[in-house]
Amino acid sequence: MPTFEDIAAEFEFLDEWEDRYRYLIELGRQLPEMPPEAQNDTNKVRGCVSQVWLISHKDGAMPPHLTYEGESDAHIVRGLVAIALTLFSGKTAPEILEIDAEAAFARLGLKEHLTPQRSNGLRAMVTRIKEDARHALEAV
């Protein structure tokens, strides 16, 4: 997977939103597949119109680093999952809590080009990721 900075550079390079949507779909295709048994109620993200599942993994470091797996049943949303994972996965819990996801997504121009339902779903993913980070810190 490319880094968030690589994705931002590619979005700047692509002039047309149709091309950006194609790139978003391609990013989603690069996500590793989540096993069907992991696509369950526990991992489901509430607030998304499409089906979205996230799994967080915490290491034993202090503060803990979190990595994420994600999946969606919709191509564009799967691309949004990929972007969210590049922004948050592999960071420490405090770093995750400090990330201004709204500013990062605004940098890509997503706010103006996503339907309200997809925007709400993206916010729900970010909320879930930040909740996972808070829980990881509470468990320390």
Q: 23-33 pLDDT, tens per residue?
A: 999 999 999 99
CA 25, 29, 33, 38: dihedral to nearest 10 degrees?
Answer: 0
- The count of other CB atoms within 10 Å of the CB of residue 100 is 10
CATH number at residue 51: 3.90.1010.10
Q: Which domain holds residue 20?
A: 4-138
pTM of the model: 0.94
**Total domains in the fold of the chain:** 1
Q: Which residues are catalytic?
A: 48
- Determine the Cα–Cα distance for residues 17 and 23; give it in Å rounded to an integer: 10
Strand partners, 91: 66
| Residue among 9, 53, 63 at smallest CA distance from 32 | 53
Mean pLDDT of 51-71: 95
Q: How far apart are CA 52 and CA 113, in angstroms?
A: 20
Per-residue pLDDT tens digits for 87-97: 999 999 999 99
